[in-house]
A and B are shown apart, each in its own frame.
Chain A
Amino acid sequence: MSKKLELIVLAILLIFAAQFIYISYTTHADYGGADDKPEGVIEQITNGTYKPIAQPIWEPPSSEIESLLFALQAAIGAGVIGYFLGYYRAKKNYEK
């Protein structure tokens, strides 16, 4: 079985990891979330007059809880993918 695609994807992931290691080592980048940055731009454009029309109903009380929930989201997704791909693979092997 050809593993060409796996090797290409691995190379892309390694390059990606390398850029992170290099940039985080050589600069003092804060690695904040891009999704939070429009807030600053909006403040600038409206001269600080814009007030959000709504607040989140609930916010994770700490960044630990937030990463817990993000990890949970990823784990649920990964579990579903692994379950069905494994199911199909086994089914295919044993039906031969």
Chain B
Amino acid sequence: MHIMEGFLPSPWWQAWFAVSIPVIVYGMYKINRLVNEKREILPLLAVAGAFIFVLSSLKLPSVTGSCSHPTGTGIAAIMFGPAITAVLSVIVLIFQALFLAHGGLTTLGANVFSMGIIGPLVSYLIYKAGMKAKINFYFVVFLAATLGDWATYIMTSTQLAIAFPAGGVLTYGAFLSSFQSFAAIFAFTQVPLAIVEGAVSALLFKYVVEVKSDILVEMKVLEDSVVRKLRGLSA
């Protein structure tokens, strides 16, 4: 999902910065407020950010014979929401743009939008809907992380198709034709990786619930009754 340095022409790279920057600023404001209110969430924030660090560095071989990587944003999205996840993604994406020539500084706005905003937003909404429907907690985390990962790559394909419509003129048909070409690279490749990401995310969440469920309840990520049920099952 990292659009390479220089591969988004004007005005698109600026446009994606314009969309992403307000979310990042709001995310920084939210982090500030949250940390001032409850200092004890800092370690959890570090764990969520570190999970993005680990997963986005793993280029995994997929069934299509090419390699792609998970995003790792599901945990942060569920715990802290999309805006804070956008800030965490900025850190990872700048690291990769500067030291790995992976992604880029001109494409940072677009990459933050797909990996840090759209993917996490999808994860967050699925999590909220799933918990409301009282589906098994770990399965909901799995679904949220899996579909958030997939949504990120669909967004990347969309961004590339808008910037490079077939024939050079941006019409719906030209967009669709380009979108199919870009999605062909990512969509199928990403399915097994998204499933692995969802599974590992659910597992990490289990360990967080085991050792630090009180803070998740306090942050209204989980209801007390759900924690008691999970504890009862794993006791």
Q: Name A's B-contacting residues (CB within 8 A).
A: 1-2, 5-6, 8-9, 12-13, 16, 19-20, 23-24, 27, 29-39, 41-42, 44-46, 50, 52-60, 66, 69-71, 73-74, 76-81, 84-85, 87-89, 92
| B46 interface neighbour in A16, A44, A80, Cβ under 8 Å | A80
B202 at the A/B interface (Cβ < 8 Å)?
yes
Q: Given A32-B66, A41-B182, A81-B54, check contact A52 B43 (CB 8 Å).
A: no
Check if B68 sits within 8 Å of A33, measured CB to CB: yes
B20 at the A/B interface (Cβ < 8 Å)?
no
In the bound complex, CA of A57 to CA of B192 (Å): 33
Check if A38 sits within 8 Å of B7, measured CB to CB: yes
A50 — which chain B residues lie within 8 A by C-beta? 9, 164
B133 at the A/B interface (Cβ < 8 Å)?
no
The B interface, classified by DSSP as helix, strand, loop or mixed, is: helix
In the bound complex, CA of A93 to CA of B168 (Å): 63
In the bound complex, CA of A74 to CA of B54 (Å): 4
Check if A66 sits within 8 Å of B100, measured CB to CB: yes
Bitwise interface map of B from 86 to 124 toward A, beta carbon under 8 Å scored 1, else 0? 000000000111111111111000000000000000000
With both beta carbons as reference points, the residue of chain A lying nearest to B234 in the complex is identified as A2
A87 — which chain B residues lie within 8 A by C-beta? 43
Q: Can you name 17 A-B pairs with beta carbons within 8 Å? A: A13-B199, A19-B192, A23-B63, A24-B61, A31-B65, A34-B67, A34-B68, A35-B1, A35-B4, A45-B164, A45-B166, A45-B178, A55-B6, A59-B101, A73-B95, A80-B50, A85-B207
- Bin chain B's interface residue count: 35 or more
Check if A77 sits within 8 Å of B53, measured CB to CB: yes
B206 — which chain A residues lie within 8 A by C-beta? 5
B223 — which chain A residues lie within 8 A by C-beta? none
Q: Count A-B contacts at CB 8 Å.
A: 177
The 9 A-B pairs of least Cβ separation, nearest first, read A29-B65, A52-B6, A77-B53, A77-B54, A80-B50, A54-B6, A56-B101, A88-B211, A34-B68
The A interface, classified by DSSP as helix, strand, loop or mixed, is: helix
In the bound complex, CA of A57 to CA of B103 (Å): 11
Q: Given A5-B138, A57-B105, check contact A76 B50 (CB 8 Å).
A: yes
Given contacts A19-B63, A53-B6, list 14 more A-B pairs with CB under 8 A.
Answer: A5-B202, A9-B200, A12-B196, A12-B199, A30-B65, A30-B66, A33-B59, A34-B189, A36-B4, A37-B66, A46-B168, A58-B99, A77-B52, A87-B43
